[in-house]
A and B are shown apart, each in its own frame.
Chain A
């Protein structure tokens, strides 16, 4: 029929508009009479609002001013729990919490006005630390400061200690991390009493925003319309927070009866929006004389911030990944998401897994050291194989060969040679070199029964011009949706990609294919695109307008004729669980994910023992992600994820003071520049996955899981003392060295 589309590096669909500056992001869009909106936020972490003062120097009568009493419906940002106000009323529970909204046609003046509002807030004692939250120093949320706990049990951990050859304990910490998409968050809202509210902006999940706007404004679904604009990076940071900005813009637009645009500046975006959950993990591990794991007892705790947002599901993914790709007979994982008075932490690529995998993979090296076994040999003896079970008692039913991934990664990085050479050279060198690795997996799609209850829908439609339109709420945010969906559709239909058009996500036009999160767009939604296309093809063949051995031209003619004669050619496909998948939500056991991507990453570092600055010198990423649909886009995902992981491991340090981020600038919150990164060498092993489109699995989050533990293992290899904490800044390494000297 046509050329093979799957597996070829078709250029990005919207690439031309991006490289020429024509792509329209939310801040590039204006409407006549549009006002600019700003948010007045709490300067302190917890307290009671007693008074709001307006400086008389500002002409307030020209402004639209919105507070909680202007909300027509419920003052909540609806997501999972129902605890986050849209605008604080009475109490504030975190710094930067929105209290008041202002809008004016003059962008400069509205900024001055924001500074001319003084919130008088009587402080209440606040909690900023996981231990203080658990100790209930202050009750700041619910009855016990706990958003959620999970217990995973496999075998009998407590009976395993007695027969152990060695028992190794460790504690590991990860810090908050800012997503730092280069396009700050923003929304434009327009209100019309007849048609309702229309919101457009930068987002991952149009239907989350839709769901939040309805109860806030007391509007039925058909009177709420959400449209995604070109989105300049997201990484999870535009999963839940856009609902907040959309709700704010909508309230201002409704009151002003004019379009209102809210664009955050960088400082506001960094301080106020969600970040990766800080975490603490404790491991206690028993091994036998042969280096086989006997028991893993894991305690995983994340700081959720002041409101629930997505903490319960972040905790879930982190919990399930905490046991890693190992077959250990006895596992117990106890996990908690606790409330503090930090701004709510939220979705960030990896979603809890990078935290628990960091701890586990550092700990695996530590156990290996304790029993005097090379880290690769220790892992080889414990890797999970087909037919064996993971921590959540999930039987691995796919061919997984972690040993092969590891061998390849270690060879490509010259791991063994370098380990020997560095050990020799480090004795006399000021620059200490090290090499380390991590082996890990990442589950694609929603956890547990999530995909089944979501029931995502994709529609495809033939046009009278003979084109095929794909309708889904899955967004393009740089990762490649708009390029791989046409590849999948065109391949299924036997036509060219040019004959496929992706419809802009607009809730008044596209069905709900679920949020663009959880490495699910390619594997889950892409599969729906494929199956809807196969139905459409079948419908054309059944109609007699298309013969089974058709050419793309025949398809075009048949499609066109079908639409001319019958008015419409539309098929839709809804998610159904692959056979044999079962998850028990009460016991937290079973098929947590339909499949996993598997990987081994190796990092080589150099550390200047005078400044304790670390540089990553080389990076090898070997992974099995099913069939690769578009190699250039896939490599771009891995390279970008590794770069973010290097930032997470070494540089990106959120400085908190009384619950406020104080380094909320690109000048002092350091993400990797082109001068900071090593060559990132990416390799794929391809084992087709039966239930993914053309055999593909999810890929987007996997690459953020491995770099941090690989780097810290390399650092520990170089300096010979335990670190166990990221970001591993010079200060952290210095303290680790001093701790070792005592």
Chain B
């Protein structure tokens, strides 16, 4: 990528409009981490296998290591830093801490993003829903049990909050 091709891309990250002039094939992951200093999004494998770099891309979970920045034109992106501003997502984050859903923490931002997206689409996930929704997010520490528990607890709390 030492050739100096460049493109200007307009997109929104965590509610803030961004304009980036960059090599069109530069990874979204690098733009987030290096240019915007949003280092909560992690790189685990660089080939879309581990999910540590998961972000919401117009409401879909994507691995930002596989997205060239050019594809982000007009897209709304939410990273883990964006979820911190969301009161409901905070319940999920708290549940991760409470249940032991985070150990070393490196997969956690991607895991939280993917599980938040699951809860938005499916507020009362079954164990099978959880297994398949999170099978793209690898965790080497927990064996996933406590992550599932955190999501189920958050799901219950969100239901309660919605009923009020």
Q: Does A561 contact B (CB under 8 A)?
A: no
Q: Point out the residues of chain B lying under 8 angstroms from A16, CB to CB.
A: 93, 97
Q: Point out the residues of chain B lying under 8 angstroms from A106, CB to CB.
A: 2
Q: Does A25 contact B (CB under 8 A)?
A: yes
Q: Do A679 and B42 touch (CB < 8 A)?
A: no
Q: Which residue of A lies closest to B99 (CB)?
A: A632
Q: Does A604 contact B (CB under 8 A)?
A: no
Distance in angstroms from A58 CB to nearest chain B CB is 9
- Known contacts A235-B140, A478-B104; is A674 also within 8 Å of B134 by CB? yes
A contact residues, range:
35 or more
Per DSSP, are chain A's interface residues mostly helix, strand or loop, or mixed? loop
- Known contacts A25-B42, A182-B44, A230-B105; is A19 also within 8 Å of B96 by CB? yes
Q: Do A15 and B131 touch (CB < 8 A)?
A: no
* A667 vs B137: C-alpha distance when bound (angstroms): 13
Q: Point out the residues of chain A lying under 8 angstroms from B13, CB to CB.
A: none
Q: Do B47 and A667 touch (CB < 8 A)?
A: yes
* A479 vs B50: C-alpha distance when bound (angstroms): 20
User: Residues 33-60 of chain B: 1 if any A CB is under 8 Å from the residue's CB, otherwise 0?
Assistant: 1000011111111110110100000000
- Known contacts A16-B97, A27-B43, A182-B106; is A666 also within 8 Å of B138 by CB? yes
Q: Does B146 contact A (CB under 8 A)?
A: yes
Number of A-B residue pairs at CB separation under 8 A: 169
Question: For chain B residues 51-109, which have a beta carbon within 8 Å of chain A?
Answer: 52, 79-81, 84, 93-94, 96-109
* A679 vs B97: C-alpha distance when bound (angstroms): 21
Neighbour of A181 across the interface among B38, B104, B108, CB < 8 A: B104
Q: Do A182 and B93 touch (CB < 8 A)?
A: no
Q: Point out the residues of chain B lying under 8 angstroms from A179, CB to CB.
A: 140
* A671 vs B45: C-alpha distance when bound (angstroms): 13
Q: Which residue of A lies closest to B145 (CB)?
A: A639
Q: Do B49 and A640 touch (CB < 8 A)?
A: no
Distance in angstroms from A541 CB to nearest chain B CB is 36
- Known contacts A11-B97, A21-B81; is A180 also within 8 Å of B103 by CB? no
Q: Point out the residues of chain A lying under 8 angstroms from B148, CB to CB.
A: 674
Question: For chain A residues 220-238, which have a beta carbon within 8 Å of chain B?
Answer: 230-235
Q: Does B143 contact A (CB under 8 A)?
A: yes
Q: Do A231 and B104 touch (CB < 8 A)?
A: yes
Q: Do A108 and B1 touch (CB < 8 A)?
A: yes
Q: Which residue of A lies closest to B105 (CB)?
A: A18
Neighbour of A632 across the interface among B49, B100, B105, CB < 8 A: B100
* A639 vs B100: C-alpha distance when bound (angstroms): 11
Distance in angstroms from A266 CB to nearest chain B CB is 4
Q: Does B28 contact A (CB under 8 A)?
A: no
Distance in angstroms from B72 CB to nearest chain A CB is 19
Q: Does A502 contact B (CB under 8 A)?
A: no
Q: Point out the residues of chain B lying under 8 angstroms from A143, CB to CB.
A: none
Distance in angstroms from A103 CB to nearest chain B CB is 16
- Known contacts A19-B102, A182-B140, A478-B103; is A108 also within 8 Å of B2 by CB? yes
Q: Point out the residues of chain A lying under 8 angstroms from B44, CB to CB.
A: 182-184, 266, 666
Distance in angstroms from B150 CB to nearest chain A CB is 9
Q: Does B122 contact A (CB under 8 A)?
A: no
User: Residues 1-33 of chain A: 1 if any B CB is under 8 Å from the residue's CB, otherwise 0?
Assistant: 000000001011011111111111101100000
* A183 vs B136: C-alpha distance when bound (angstroms): 16
Distance in angstroms from B78 CB to nearest chain A CB is 12
Q: Point out the residues of chain B lying under 8 angstroms from A234, CB to CB.
A: 104
Distance in angstroms from A603 CB to nearest chain B CB is 14
Q: Which residue of B lies closest to A113 (CB)?
A: B2
Q: Do B145 and A21 touch (CB < 8 A)?
A: no
Q: Do B135 and A675 touch (CB < 8 A)?
A: yes
Q: Does A339 contact B (CB under 8 A)?
A: no
Q: Do B100 and A633 touch (CB < 8 A)?
A: yes
Q: Does A158 contact B (CB under 8 A)?
A: no
Q: Does A673 contact B (CB under 8 A)?
A: yes
- Known contacts A18-B108, A232-B106, A233-B106; is A666 also within 8 Å of B47 by CB? yes
* A25 vs B106: C-alpha distance when bound (angstroms): 8
Q: Do B100 and A12 touch (CB < 8 A)?
A: yes
* A688 vs B40: C-alpha distance when bound (angstroms): 40
What would 16 A/B residue contacts be, using CB atoms closer than 8 Å? A12-B100, A12-B102, A12-B103, A18-B102, A22-B40, A27-B42, A182-B104, A184-B43, A232-B104, A632-B99, A666-B47, A674-B134, A674-B147, A675-B132, A677-B144, A680-B145
4 extra A-B contacts, CB within 8 A, seeds A635-B146, A679-B145: A181-B104, A636-B141, A643-B144, A666-B50
Closest 9 CB pairs of A and B: A21-B40, A478-B104, A232-B106, A18-B105, A643-B143, A15-B97, A21-B80, A639-B143, A478-B103
